[in-house]
Structure 1
Amino acid sequence: MAMFLSAIWSDLTSRAISSLMERYRERCSRPTREERLHRLQQLLLRVRVIVDDADERSITNQAMLQQLDMMRKDMYRGYYTLHTLRRRADEEGDAKDSHQVSQSFTPSQLNSAKRVRLLRSSSSSREEEQLQQVVACLETAIEDASEMVVLLSGCPRLYKQPYSMHLILDKCMFGRQVEMEHLVKFLLEAEVSGDTNHGVLPIIGPKKVGKTTLVEHAFNDERVRKHFSQIVFLNGGNLAGEKLEALGRDDYVIKYENPASHGERVLLIVELDGVRFSRRLHSDNIDKGLWQRLYSTYIRHIPHGSKIILTSRSDKIASFGTTSPLRLEYIYREAFLYFFKVRLFGSRDAAEHPKLAAIATDMVMELSGCFMTANMYSELLRSNSNVRFWISVLTLMRQVKQKNLFLGTHQVDIWDVARPIYVPRVKKSSEDLVILDEYEARSALDHCATATTMTVQEVLLGTSRHRGKFDVLAWRSPIPPHFSYFFSCEIRKRRRIVARKKSIQKTAN
């Protein structure tokens, strides 16, 4: 019996020792967080090489575009994770140093310390899982990209020389490659034999999401210009009420005319809302009657094989289409952070400026994915790389929300708030820049002969002094259709706004 118990005890002991040794070997071989982050950075560099090369090429294959879109999403998520975890590590390091200093002067609080460790342990476990998932996704994306890399080499380049990303953003849209090719494919599709109806594609999306920019890039595509004899833009200012029946040649703009063609096909672009054309035509006015009047007055007279693009913020235009609508949304947070940091840092490496990069991440949470606002603030921030200045601009962004957007549990986008909009000035604590109205122009000629050159950045910084009502340039887009965005505004002494919430609540509802 003693020998039997001894054998069992010996077996249990050897198993326990073996298990401990296995755990020790596993722990030693498991990469540290810093090693995982280094691995993530290496994978991101490899993926970025593929994505940047693809962005410089003309790609028409839908499967390749979808694969590239998935790879971009993985890349943006990877950069977001890398930046977030490195920032967390820096914050924990600073907190640890501060805690060690304070320990010399304050008594120990054991229970509080335990709770902090438990919370950090739970958060760390989730972050490790997230990091592992991101690394696995990038590894899979690279493994699956071998055939695509070969096919990419056969796609023609769009540029004569390579560009860095911040220069590419001055040449093309960001994050709309799939939507762009979807639109071009619709425009080039042949009509079904015997079908007398024209192809109609509705494009639906919120304000300032890039509907007009997408359409402009599509009809500037060489394939589209060769396919249509004319590209016509119908002036939305004359689509309301009785004026529709009186449409004449002056009510539309011929954007392009192909001299080699003989009127075979026309591309008609109709924008059914927007401050650019008509303040009387709103989403509530868009109905079947409007479409029927527009069709009988103009569309039925254009040649067979022509195509129509409708753009609007209203879902009502979906019923006007002969195909499913193309819906545009603001880009997701990870991609928007990538875009914003490229705009802020240009050719500089954001990793070399960790404090500024951390502030940029906080700013993204305040910008709601709006490209115009991001570009407006990036021009302001590029003028001064001081950390304190960036913090003051971040504070300004938050104050804009506090003054204009907070509606209890409701929150709306800054450009959907009823005017006026109150914007604190960076260096003038007693004054606000009050935006009374905002409008767009395709060029200085579309605006007026004496278009303002004063920028909103100059007003916010206080370098340009102006009293009364005046116009300022918010941002001038470098890509087609080269819109210039203007604010009509004035400077007011800061005062406490009491009835603001009630008026905005009505707007939000």
Structure 2
Amino acid sequence: MEVICSAVMGELVSRTISFLVDKYLKQTTAPTEEERLHSLQRLLLRLCIIIEEAEERRITNQAMLHQLCILKMEMYRGYYILDSFSCRAHGEERMNDHQVSHSFAPSKFNPAKRVCFCSGSSQSASQAELLEQVLGSIGNTIEDVSEFVILLNRCPRLYRQPYNMYLLLDKCMFGRHMELEYIINFLLQAETTLGAENPGVLPIIGPGKVGKSTLIEHACNNERVRSHFSQILCFGGDDLKDASAVTLRDAGIIKHQNLTMGSGRTLIIIELVLDIDERLWKRLFSSAKRSIASGSKIIIASRSDKIASFGSTQALRVQSLTQEAYWYFFKVRIFGCMNAQDHPKLAAIAMDIARELNGCFMGATIFRGLLKSNFNPHFWSMALACLRKFKRHNMLVYGERFVAPWQIEEPIYVRRLEKTSSEYIVILDDYQTESAKSSANSPTNSGQSKPEAPKMSVQDLFFGSVRPQGKFNVLAWTSHLPPHYNYMFTCGIQRPRRKVTRKKCFLKNGN
């Protein structure tokens, strides 16, 4: 019996010692955080090479486009984590200096994702796990991409500059490569099936300010599309109230026209804010069927799911960018050809601003102009504080109805006129006009009055000290794509409505 007990105890001691030695060796040989970050940088460089090569090719295979989207999402995620680690120390500095609060709150447009960088051993462990997870995911993605690279070599090369040059110059549709090719393939698809519906209809559905119009604009500017259609017409909701066969054929905004083409194919773009009456749609479609040539197409875009039933093909649903993709987009827009890691304090502030903008393209464009005009940490901190105060005040006024700063369905309170005043500058409406550049170059718009000059810049709107009178216009930005629309705000002066208190929200929910 003693022999057996002695053998068992010896085995237990031997295994315990072996376990402790193995654990010690693993701890001493485990890569440091800095080494992991360098590994992540190397993997991201390899990923960028593959993606940039793919962006220079014409890919029509939907499976390859889907895999390219996966590669992009991994790249966005990797850069987001890399920049988060880089910005962490500077965010903590700003917290200690009480300049701007630093928060890694969960993304409102992607609630499942959250990145925390707080002090403490448990948080440090979670950071290491997150970094290890991203490294493993990107490594596995690169290992699985060999067949994609082989097939990529068979795709014809596009005769244009590299993708990043277009990204920096605002000439490329960011993050929508798969959606753009889906639209182009639909437009170029021949109606060869017996009994196929003509004209074909593609519904595009998505929330406001998500980029539906920009996506359609890029598709219409594609050379293959312009050479396929002799005419491209665009209609808004107001243009369709008294629509008939004549208006569909001869009215609307002419985006492209080539009367020398013999096909006579027409592309009709209908952009709606919400719904369209079903009877009106049937009348429009019937008139289009009678008046436009075979092979013509219709694209109808709206926020409402109801237009999905109007399509002759599956509806294209455009969603907001993920938090990681939006940060990559915002970072390149702000820093351009500069490396954000060379300006870690500014990058930390920019990352907070990107979170507050909540995936909005309009907000990114507006704040890009503001931040690039003054490359100074103090100004950027002021812009972040102003944005947070701007959102907080409107949430107090409107409660749950306030979804995003740029969904202008009710007056949006921008800033108080003076510290002692109870009046606020508010955004009442947004609209678009043709710029002087497009009016001069457009033969179809001759005789139109020139757009009214704005009385206030966006910077004055948010940070100015001038006291405006009555209603006034503000130029938010000018589009770089033809016809170079000016995007305007109609603003005014108002006293704030009675604020929605937490108690009222509590009673409203019936609890």
* TM-score, normalising length: structure 2: 0.82
Query: Which whole-Å CA distance do the structure 2 matches of 1:408 and 1:416 have between them?
Result: 14
Rate the CA distance shift 1:94–1:26 in 2: closer, same or farther, 3 A. Answer: farther
Which one of 466, 476, 479 corresponds to residue 478 of structure 2? 476
Does the residue aligned with 1:170 lie in a helix, a strand or coil?
A: coil
Query: Which whole-Å CA distance do the structure 2 matches of 1:369 and 1:205 have between them?
Result: 13
In structure 1, the residue matched to 2:304 is 314
Which one of 311, 314, 320 corresponds to residue 330 of structure 1? 320
**Structure 1 unaligned residues grouped into runs of 5+:** 99-117, 275-281
Contact 2:230 2:264 in 1 (8 A): yes
Letter aligned with residue 268 of structure 2 = L
Q: How far apart are residue 336 of structure 1 and its match?
A: 0.5
Identify the range of structure 1 (206-215 vs 371-380) with the bigger mean alpha-carbon deviation: 206-215
Query: Which whole-Å CA distance do the structure 2 matches of 1:488 and 1:144 have between them?
Result: 51
In structure 1, the residue matched to 2:103 is none
In structure 1, the residue matched to 2:337 is 347
Q: How far apart are residue 176 of structure 1 and its match?
A: 0.6
Q: How far apart are residue 265 of structure 1 and its match?
A: 2.6
In structure 1, the residue matched to 2:392 is 402
Q: How far apart are residue 89 of structure 1 and its match?
A: 5.3
Query: Which whole-Å CA distance do the structure 2 matches of 1:337 and 1:127 have between them?
Result: 19
Query: Which whole-Å CA distance do the structure 1 matches of 2:333 and 2:265 have between them?
Result: 40
Letter aligned with residue 478 of structure 1 = H
Rate the CA distance shift 1:457–1:94 in 2: closer, same or farther, 3 A. Answer: closer
Q: Deviations over 1:376-395 (max 9, x none)?
A: 01110112222222111111
Rate the CA distance shift 1:417–1:441 in 2: closer, same or farther, 3 A. Answer: closer
In structure 1, the residue matched to 2:221 is 220
Which one of 484, 487, 510 corresponds to residue 485 of structure 1? 487
After TM superposition, the structure 1 = structure 2 runs for residues 442-461 of structure 1, keeping only pairs within 5 Å, are 442-444=434-436, 445=439, 448-452=449-453, 454-461=456-463
Contact 1:405 1:414 in 2 (8 A): no
Letter aligned with residue 81 of structure 1 = I
Contact 2:394 2:402 in 1 (8 A): no
Which one of 417, 429, 432 corresponds to residue 440 of structure 1? 432
Percent identity for Structure 1 against Structure 2:
49
Does the residue aligned with 1:125 lie in a helix, a strand or coil?
A: helix
Contact 2:429 2:491 in 1 (8 A): yes
Letter aligned with residue 360 of structure 2 = C
In structure 2, the residue matched to 1:296 is 286
**Structure 2 unaligned residues grouped into runs of 5+:** 99-117, 440-444
Query: Which whole-Å CA distance do the structure 2 matches of 1:94 and 1:18 have between them?
Result: 47
Query: Which whole-Å CA distance do the structure 2 matches of 1:313 and 1:97 have between them?
Result: 44
Letter aligned with residue 184 of structure 2 = V
Does the residue aligned with 1:322 lie in a helix, a strand or coil?
A: coil
Rate the CA distance shift 1:499–1:2 in 2: closer, same or farther, 3 A. Answer: closer
Which one of 400, 405, 428 corresponds to residue 414 of structure 1? 405
Q: How far apart are residue 14 of structure 1 and its match?
A: 3.1
Contact 2:209 2:361 in 1 (8 A): yes
In structure 1, the residue matched to 2:205 is 204
Contact 2:209 2:362 in 1 (8 A): yes
RMSD over aligned Cα atoms: 3.5
In structure 2, the residue matched to 1:182 is 182
Does the residue aligned with 1:247 lie in a helix, a strand or coil?
A: helix
In structure 1, the residue matched to 2:102 is none
Q: How far apart are residue 466 of structure 1 and its match?
A: 4.4
Query: Which whole-Å CA distance do the structure 1 matches of 2:418 and 2:47 have between them?
Result: 42
Does the residue aligned with 2:77 lie in a helix, a strand or coil?
A: helix
Q: Deviations over 1:18-66 (max 9, x none)?
A: 2221111111121122221221122112212222333344332322211
Query: Which whole-Å CA distance do the structure 1 matches of 2:178 and 2:254 have between them?
Result: 27
Does the residue aligned with 1:66 lie in a helix, a strand or coil?
A: helix
Contact 1:203 1:327 in 2 (8 A): yes
Q: Deviations over 1:110-163 (max 9, x none)?
A: xxxxxxxx9833333333222222111111222223343344455455464446
* TM-score, normalising length: structure 1: 0.82
Contact 1:228 1:265 in 2 (8 A): yes
Does the residue aligned with 1:416 lie in a helix, a strand or coil?
A: coil
